[in-house]
Chains A and B, each alone.
Chain A
């Protein structure tokens, strides 16, 4: 159990896929213009990550080393297609916002990276922990980025058709926040912040 929690926490902080490992950035920068879309993107990634981690870990003993990558890709692509079909059928507004980024989860480095680096060498239970940790770590950062960019860029925060916060029609946000360079700059600050936090965490762990 302790190991489970440790692996889970790793994904959130010390090995956060975005701020520490720096993988899966392209979708993060592209999708995070809106809070709602980035949240659903995060949920989609959590689902694919957990499911593919479980399956890859379960079949790892029967997977010959030489053909592991094709097997990983087939498993990941199957789950991504399932997410794609479900979103298309039941959440059309989210689907139209995320568009091509859902199919692109197949080549998202986080998913393949965790399959190769973790699920292929660990048991099913720990792989679930890794999937949840990495997925939630991704979601927190992307949803935070999305909330900040939407709120300060366009002046209001909309979730499922309801306006949560609004600065009123007179507010004129800096356009750069809504464009990719804004996401990049903001992401830099988030990385700096999480580095400082991680340094303190590591220091505390070593002191113990």
Chain B
């Protein structure tokens, strides 16, 4: 019997469950390697070559090179691991989170200062027209 996954109908949200974790294992472990300064330097010097050391899919590598965090998450990435790429690039958590919303950095910061994204209309996929 399939597991119940009631979180699939939350709009704009990917829950990092065991299935996503399995899909993203090497992507996330690549991110983890960026906690070491030597690895950050090697990655920055030649991103493609560094990524090729990891058994990631081509789609995962392209998503990292494009810094497309939504795509990284769809391919099994988790934000706490992906944050290591942001740290390597000198980005804050707010800049990273904002980059996934289609808003500019300023628009996102202003939304947060004004109370954040409302829950109304954001509970279920079918609410989003």
Q: Do A and B bind each other?
A: no
